């Protein structure tokens, strides 16, 4: 008689950091060796959205919440076309998900997406290490007897600085986001061109909900190609990697400034800053989670935000760019939003579409409509 899967012998594995630290566990999902930058995420739910967020390309995600997979996964809640994480690190995986929308377990999902997972890891110790030492390159491997070799290999892994990953996750050809437009302006939707640096589906849903017909274009699209669509506004999406490495995107945005209203989120926020003369820098361990407090300096209100980024805009470099800081992170005072004094341009570092508040940041999409309306009337 065939043994049930939960009684099968587990495959032992290790997570080895570039610092030489070793965390033992058992592998699940697609059993293989994988490497990437190890970061921690403080969200208590939303693991499917995390696994399918293109901004995690090149990274292995450790969940701080101890039990993952309780409500399963389904084919409707993907944030992109596939999973992008290099590895998934958890304390305990649920083998019997329970939810009326559940279609498959975490283990089944990772197998199908060819992503390795490791459970049984002391994620508290791992998180403390990452907070103290910073995000680290690491390797997940079933070769538990090759620790010396794995440590040497991990120590040689290149970091995220200088890596252009936006083109890797971006679409190859332009397309229209086909979803019902719930609101229209003057009998027609707002025409928006969205740069896909790793765009999430819920951003597109939010834009459609406020009356936008969105044409999504590849990361390397030129300013001339964008203007040929005669858009009412331009959106710059989230995405992975080092914004300073996306020189092609910065160049395109430089040529679009002052010609159309522009709204940027996450990587798009950083690229917009670079295009206006600001600088970016690598955070120690990044912001990854759904509970980051951000203060809106204009309204004085505090928003509970979702975040996923490893780089930030340097506030000291904003002088003479025309950008004013509109939002700050209350945990570390980093820049979370900017607005230009002369041009119809604004951006935020966090993810308003992820709705952790749940509706704290929905006003940003309405503000984009206001800018496009003023521009059209002008």
Tokens read off for 111: 């197998």
> What SS3 state is found at 324?
strand
The pairing of strands 280-296 and 262-265 is unpaired
Give the active site residue among 201, 287, 309, 351: 351
**Residues in CB range of 337: below 8 A, 6 or more apart:** 269, 294, 296, 325, 326, 327, 346, 347, 348, 349, 350
Two tokens, residue 263? 């709204």
Contact between 214 and 194 under an 8 Å Cβ cutoff? The reply is yes
Residue labelled with tokens 């019902």: 180
Tokens of 73: 């996964």
Token code pair at residue 322: 């025309």
Cα dihedral across residues 107, 111, 112, 113: positive or negative: positive
Candidates 246, 266, 269, 303; catalytic one? 266
Active-site residue (options: 37, 119, 336, 353):
353
353 is catalytic: yes
The packing angle between helices 363-377 and 201-209, to 10°, is: 60
Query: Among the residues of the chain, which ranges form H helices?
Result: 47-51, 106-113, 123-133, 147-155, 166-169, 201-209, 223-228, 247-256, 267-275, 363-377
Reply yes or no on whether 266 is catalytic. yes
Residue 196: what are its φ and ψ, rounded to 5°? -95, 95
In whole angstroms, what is the distance from residue 244 CA to residue 162 CA?
7
Backbone angles phi, psi at 66, to 5 degrees: -75, -30
Note if 246 is an active site residue. Answer: no
Cβ atoms of residues 260 and 236 within 8 Å:
no
d(Cα 67, Cα 78) in Å, to the nearest integer?
Answer: 20
List active site positions.
266, 351, 353
């Amino acid at each position: 008689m065939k043994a049930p899967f939960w009684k099968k012998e587990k495959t032992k594995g290790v997570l080895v950091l570039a610092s030489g630290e070793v965390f033992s566990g058992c592998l699940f999902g697609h059993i293989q060796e994988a490497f990437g930058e190890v970061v921690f995420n403080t969200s208590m739910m939303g693991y499917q959205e995390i696994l399918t967020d293109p901004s995690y390309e090149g990274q292995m995600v450790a969940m701080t919440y101890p039990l993952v997979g309780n409500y399963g996964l389904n084919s409707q809640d993907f944030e992109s076309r596939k999973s992008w994480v290099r590895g998934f690190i958890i304390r305990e995986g649920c083998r019997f998900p329970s939810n009326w929308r559940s279609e498959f377990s975490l283990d089944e999902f990772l197998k199908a997406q060819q992503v390795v997972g490791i459970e049984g890891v002391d994620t508290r110790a791992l998180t403390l290490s990452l907070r103290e030492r910073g995000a680290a390159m690491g390797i997940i491997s079933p070769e538990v007897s090759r620790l010396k070799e794995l440590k040497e290999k991990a120590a040689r892994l290149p970091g995220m600085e200088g890596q252009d990953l936006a083109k890797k996750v971006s679409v190859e050809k332009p397309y229209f986001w086909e979803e019902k437009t719930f609101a229209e302006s003057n009998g027609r939707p707002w025409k928006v061109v969205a740069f896909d640096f790793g765009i999430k589906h819920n951003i597109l849903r939010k834009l459609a909900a406020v009356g936008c017909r969105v044409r999504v274009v590849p990361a390397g699209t030129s300013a001339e190609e964008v203007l040929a669509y005669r858009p009412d506004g331009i959106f710059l999406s989230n995405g992975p990697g080092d914004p300073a490495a996306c020189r092609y995107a910065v160049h395109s945005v430089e040529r679009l400034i002052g010609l159309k209203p522009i709204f940027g989120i996450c990587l798009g926020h950083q690229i917009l800053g670079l295009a206006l003369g600001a600088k970016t820098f690598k955070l120690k361990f990044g912001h990854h989670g759904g509970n980051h407090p951000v203060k809106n300096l204009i309204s004085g209100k505090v928003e509970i935000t979702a975040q996923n980024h490893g780089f930030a805009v340097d506030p000291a470099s904003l002088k003479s760019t025309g950008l004013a800081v509109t939002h700050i992170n209350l945990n570390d005072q980093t820049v979370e939003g900017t607005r230009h004094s002369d041009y119809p341009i604004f951006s935020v570092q966090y993810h308003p579409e992820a709705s952790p508040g749940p509706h704290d940041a929905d006003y940003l999409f309405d503000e984009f409509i206001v800018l496009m309306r003023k521009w059209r009337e002008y």
